[in-house]
Amino acid sequence: MTNKQQNLEDNSSKSKENEIDSSRAPFDRHNEAEIPGEYPYTRGIYPEMYSKKLWTMRQYSGFSSPEESNKRYRYLLEQGQTGLSIAFDLPTQMGYDSDHELAVGEVGRAGVSISSLEDMETLFKGINVEDISASMTINSTAPILLAFYIEMARKKGVSPKALKGTIQNDILKEYIARGTYIYPPKSSMRLVTDVFEYCTSYVPHWNTISVSGYHIREAGANAVQELAFTFANAIAYVDAALSAGLDVDKFAPRISFFFVAQSNLFEEIAKFRAARRIWAKIIKQRFKSQDERSARLRFHTQTAGVTLTAQQPENNIIRTTIQALAAVLGGTQSLHVNSKDEALALPTEESAQLSLRTQQILAYETGIVSTTDPAGGSYYVEELTSQIEADVNEYINKIDGLGGAVLALEEGFQTKEIQNSAFEYQKSVENQSSIIVGVNKYKSDTPPIEKIQIIDQKQTARQIQKIKKLRKNRNEENVKECLARLKTISKTTDNIMPAILDCARAYCTLGEISDEMRNVFGEFGSND
């Protein structure tokens, strides 16, 4: 054991009540004896893992209009995809209808445009939502999109109690790394915990949050920062829910996570293994959870968009295959593999199929699913797992010392750390201590990809006309009553979800619902 390891062990014995043991124990008999499916779940959250059930193959998709995205979803399901992952355009993420002046040029670009329950009905036309799980990558407007989904399912005759899926609902990382926030942190956290409370009672199989390290890492964080800032955010969500009077073992089993898989194979495998151990200890030691389901870290993985290159785009197939392998060897519960053309445009149908086939080949042709934690037992993997755990806990304890994730982000701590990490990486690329094949070494003139996905401007125009037509044909008196009730509830501490569901059912638009809450909560960063 190194002196640094010994010092860390000595310091951990003097830690404060909320601090987590940050010792860097190398692979030893204790770690070797860890059993898959048992606390602290280093070797997997289930005893048999993929030998009993494969991960969910969930290709992230959404573009143009609900009609066009519905075609892509049905195609992917026909090709063997086992879950849906919905990408929304920026207006939908920011609470603007498709005909809003700030939506010009962005409708259907980064994802599908959803402005009303009618759009959600179109998006899932011909899809049995009782048989699939749907993941929605949405944050500021998460309660609204969840309400649209619940009401769409009800109209199909499917009870909310039968729905399976995930809403990202992770607003803190938006302030830290991504920027699609609307309301101030306090009001945003109220919306998060209201979703926790509502779903615990009425949508029990729904994952009420997917705490995301993916976007933190894509912004420039390293592997340790990815986990540390994600878990600090998760701690803040649990604290907020407890302050709202919720029981940790009522909502914690439905907390899920979202991580990236980068190309450093062993570091990523160790990262995922360390993540399970860290979360299990946080829930058990810090929050005194008694339910073993609360301590099982369940996570979705996406291969690293930031590693995709426009130069020699065929190389991206190799990159994403290695990254997907890391995710599977690390024990992910669901996976999205990026497509080779995503540095240039949204993926075509052909490249999306190839990404799905990458998952299927890993699952059926490699043999890696036949045993649990196949990389476990390697001295290097075990030592790296413990090293990452120690470094992550050191960061978490530092954030605790700043008053927690919310106060730390208000001080700009996480953002500064990410910026420093991104700067150091960029320097390494420029001086070629980090090699990116085809970019800063082994360059060659390669022909561009012949076919890229083009957004149909006619579909965008139709989407704008649809929302205008909806407003003319709905019961306007009912709309006004529902929006007025939402405004009233927003001023109280009552759960806001029932009022949002009423608005959804009345075909109030996403923008109208968001505006009522803007009027009460205000906008973060506004000078008004």
Span 42-60, mean pLDDT? Answer: 96
Residue 474: name the closest of 99, 117, 112 by CA: 117
Residue 388: name the closest of 276, 263, 255 by CA: 276
pLDDT of residue 50: 97
Q: Is residue 526 domain-resident?
A: no
- Residue 432, judged by CB atoms within 10 A of its CB (0-12, 13-18, 19+), counts as exposed
Q: Is residue 181 domain-resident?
A: yes
pTM: 0.92
Residue 152: both structure tokens together: 């769409």
Q: How far from the centroid of its chain's Cα atoms is residue 264's Cα?
A: 21
Task: Judge whether 275 and 227 are in contact, CB under 8 Å.
Answer: yes
Q: What span, in angstroms and rounded, lies between the C-alpha atoms of 43 and 26?
A: 15
DSSP secondary structure string, 59-124? -EE--S-HHHHHHHHHHHHHTT--SEEEEB-HHHHHT--TTSGGGTTTTTTSSB---SHHHHHHHT
Give me the residue label for tokens 């320097």.
427
pLDDT of residue 445: 81
Between 4 and 131, residue with greater pLDDT = 131
Give me the residue label for tokens 């008053």.
403
Span 322-335, mean pLDDT? Answer: 98
Q: What span, in angstroms and rounded, lies between the C-alpha atoms of 185 and 169?
A: 13
Q: Is residue 325 domain-resident?
A: yes
Q: Tell me: pLDDT of 495 over 70.
A: yes
Q: What is the pLDDT of residues 461-484, one digit of tens each?
A: 899 999 999 999 999 999 999 999
Q: Among 8-22, 189-203, 422-436, which stretch is predicted with the lowest mean pLDDT?
A: 8-22
pLDDT of residue 220: 98
Q: Tell me: pLDDT of 13 over 90.
A: no
β-strand 255-261 against 209-212: which pairing, if any? parallel
pLDDT level of residue 438 (50, 70, 90 thresholds) = very high
Which range marks the domain in which residue 262 is found?
3-430
Q: How far from the centroid of its chain's Cα atoms is residue 481's Cα?
A: 34
pLDDT level of residue 19 (50, 70, 90 thresholds) = low
pLDDT level of residue 460 (50, 70, 90 thresholds) = confident
pLDDT level of residue 446 (50, 70, 90 thresholds) = confident
Q: Is residue 523 domain-resident?
A: no
Q: Tell me: pLDDT of 329 over 80.
A: yes
Q: What span, in angstroms and rounded, lies between the C-alpha atoms of 392 and 267?
A: 13
Q: What is the pLDDT of residues 308-320, one digit of tens each?
A: 999 999 999 999 9
Task: Judge whether 63 and 112 are in contact, CB under 8 Å.
Answer: yes
Q: Is residue 469 domain-resident?
A: no
Q: Tell me: pLDDT of 433 over 70.
A: yes
How many domains does the structure of the chain reveal? 1
Give me the residue label for tokens 């965008």.
460
Q: Is residue 13 domain-resident?
A: yes
Q: Tell me: pLDDT of 241 over 50.
A: yes
DSSP 88: B
Task: Judge whether 166 and 206 are in contact, CB under 8 Å.
Answer: yes
The secondary structure element, H or E, covering residue 444 is none
Peptide bond into 160 cis (omega under 30): no
pLDDT of residue 11: 37
Q: Among 38-52, 149-163, 274-288, 439-453, which stretch is predicted with the lowest mean pLDDT?
A: 439-453
Q: What is the pLDDT of residues 371-411, one digit of tens each?
A: 999 999 999 999 999 999 999 999 999 999 999 999 999 99
Q: Is residue 441 domain-resident?
A: no
Q: Tell me: pLDDT of 145 over 60.
A: yes
Distances (CA, A) of 518 to 23, 46, 184: 46, 43, 10
Task: Judge whether 274 and 223 are in contact, CB under 8 Å.
Answer: no
pLDDT of residue 32: 55
Residue 140: name the closest of 213, 201, 79, 90 by CA: 90
Q: Is residue 159 domain-resident?
A: yes
CATH number at residue 205: 3.20.20.240
Most distant pair of Cα atoms in the chain: their distance: 73
pLDDT of residue 31: 54
Which CB contacts under 8 angstroms, 24+ apart, belong to 443-447?
Answer: 443/311, 444/312, 446/311, 446/312, 446/313, 446/314
Percent of the chain with pLDDT strictly greater than 90: 88
Q: Tell me: pLDDT of 232 over 50.
A: yes
Q: What span, in angstroms and rounded, lies between the C-alpha atoms of 297 and 273?
A: 10
Question: To the nearest whole number, what is the mean pLDDT of the chain?
Answer: 92
